[in-house]
Amino acid sequence: MTENSEMTPQDRRLLERRGQTIGPYSPLFYNRPRHFVSGDGVWLTDVEGRRYLDGYNNVPQVGHSNPRVAEAVYAQMSTYNVHTRYLSEHVVDYAEQLLATFDDRLDRVYFTNSGSESNDLALRIARHHTGRDGIIVTDHSYHGNTISLAALTTGLEVSEPFGEHVRTISVPDLDDSAGTTPEDLLAKALAGVDAAIASLRDSGHGVSALLFDPSFSTEGLPRLPEQYLAGVTERVRTAGGLVISDEVQAGLGRLGDHWWGHQATGIAPDLVTLGKPLGNGYPVGGVVTTHELMDDFSSANMYFNTFAGTPASAAAGRAVLAEVRDRDLVARSGDLGRHVAQRLQELVDRHPQAAAAKGRGLFFGLSLIDDQGQPDPALAKRIVEALVDQGILISRIGPHEHVLKIRPPLVIEQGELDQIITALDGALLAESDVTERTG
């Protein structure tokens, strides 16, 4: 709900104009929507001049208004920008540099404009290659806005009917398994995968692909049992399906120590889908795959995309890769993530409402519970609002929306991360004080 009474007259009018053009259904964050006019690194400035520490946005992977990216795009747009039906040194250079961050087997790339386009194309490739259309996703996930992706969306409301060719699996979480051993939790989860595969086979769809985010972000950053991902991917491949790793959120150093989420989690996918962080705000996406899969699909399907893989988008992508390399952001994310994990565990030890520290690298969070040990989405919402009132942006995720979601630009400093954790500590302490007074 938007609290119009707290908004300036100018912002109230802007909100009205937004509703009359974009429509009132496009979501806005926070009880009082923020109106930002500039950004720098991990900081955003609103229309009244107040600065906010951005602990949420992964589109500006290497920082808001990154000069290197902005100057590269400006220079290319000031020179020329055409589609991929002409030879371009810039585009091929970018493709080579991007593929160099992947394992040798993944040696081809299709360029797109967004994660939605990437996932849609990956599913087309899988369907063509396998001759089947059955898809496996998790039971609380989101992979994009196209009609084919809406038919397999389980993590938010859509009007499209759930696809008859889609089956869901539940992702196990060691942090939410009281009374169950890790071995039993793993066995139950893999039995669910077996059942999904059998159902697709029995219904005549077969298995085309498993599509998953290796960080399982929409699912609430679960802590997985050992061998879960290996067991899932092995079963899908045995059934003849392909493995698609959706790296729109988990990729480009986000999880630390590795360039890509599938590397961090030990998976060897057949296709990797990429999106928003690639261009740091410039629309760049892609599907990375093997030459065998590209040859099979593209020999029978002409894939052409006017705005994907242009010299300007390649300039943005090359500049982002250069920033990540030159500033050692992949290793740095791992080091900072370990520091954050320790600080979050201190909160868990100190606050009964904090059930578990979640995530890794610079994609982390905190699972919140009530006095009965149940997920507490209302508390999570109050914490998010308390932090934005202090000038810190975070959000919440998970099937119950009780997991705080913190995913800052990779250029954040340790002191700024500590500022977020300290604010969380204070907000949780304030909640405890309220409970004691009203209890």
Q: What is the DSSP string of 287-328?
A: EEE-HHHHHHHHTTS----TTTT-HHHHHHHHHHHHHHHHTT
Residue 432 is predicted with a pLDDT of 84
pLDDT above 90: residue 423: yes
Q: What is the pLDDT of residue 84?
A: 86
For residues 11 and 4, the answer to whether their CB atoms sit within 8 Å is no
First to last CA, the chain: 27
Please provide the average confidence, as pLDDT, over all residues in the chain. 95
Q: Is residue 4 over pLDDT 60? A: no
The residue written with tokens 């296709």 in the block is 271
Which two three-digit tokens encode residue 391?
């000038």
Res 433 pLDDT > 90: no
pLDDT in tens, 370-391: 999 999 999 999 999 999 999 9
pLDDT higher than 90, residue 434: no
Q: Report whether pLDDT(24) > 60.
A: yes
What pLDDT score does 1 carry?
41
Tokens linked to 264: 């961090």
User: Which residues face 212 on adjacent strands?
Assistant: 245
Query: What band does 436 get if pLDDT is binned at 50, 70 and 90?
Result: low
**Looking only at Cα atoms, what is the longest distance across the chain?**
70
> One-letter amino acid identity for 100?
A
Query: 267-305: per-residue pLDDT in tens?
Result: 999 999 999 999 999 999 999 999 999 999 999 999 988
The yes-or-no verdict on residue 2 having pLDDT over 50 is no
Query: What values do phi and psi take at 115, rounded to 5?
Result: -65, -35
Q: What is the pLDDT of residues 123-168, one digit of tens each?
A: 999 999 999 999 999 999 999 999 999 999 999 999 999 999 999 9
H/E stretch holding 330: helix 329-350
**pLDDT grade for 88, boundaries at 50, 70 and 90:** very high
How far is it, in rounded angstroms, from Cα 403 to Cα 220?
A: 6
